[in-house]
Amino acid sequence: MLKTVFVIVLTVITAGALAQNSNPPLTLDVAQQHARYARDQKLSAERNAEAAEKKDKAAQKRLEEAKTLADDAAKELHEAQAEFAKARVRHDQAYQDLKRAHEALRESNKQQ
């Protein structure tokens, strides 16, 4: 009984191995078609990669330009803020001068 099961299992394994190896070799035309298809796929992938690299370079260039613009804008903002601070100091000083002049005028009017 054990021998029979062993022979059946061995027969099934052998039949499976023979079935896998029974594929006939490809004809020359089919092999050439496969090679052309593979080459076309490779060329398509290369074109796609080149297009992606071009887009990446353009995006990098735009990014650098945007960084430069942002730096320039930040510099202008800083300069404007500094100018505003100076103007604020001048305004406060002028206001204090006006206030003192007004007080002096009131005092002179009281004394008369």
| Residue 12 falls inside a structural domain | no
Counted domains in the chain: 1
Residue 81 lies in a domain: yes
pLDDT tens for each residue of 13-71:
766 555 555 566 778 888 899 999 999 999 999 999 999 999 999 999 999 999 999 99
What local confidence, expressed as pLDDT, does residue 111 receive? 80
CA torsion sign for 41, 42, 46, 52 is: positive
> pLDDT value at position 60?
97
For residue 30, what pLDDT is reported? 87
Domain membership flag for residue 105: yes
> At 99, which amino acid appears?
K
Look up the domain containing 71 and give its range.
29-111
In a domain, 14, yes or no: no
Q: Are 34 and 26 in contact (CB under 8 A)?
A: yes
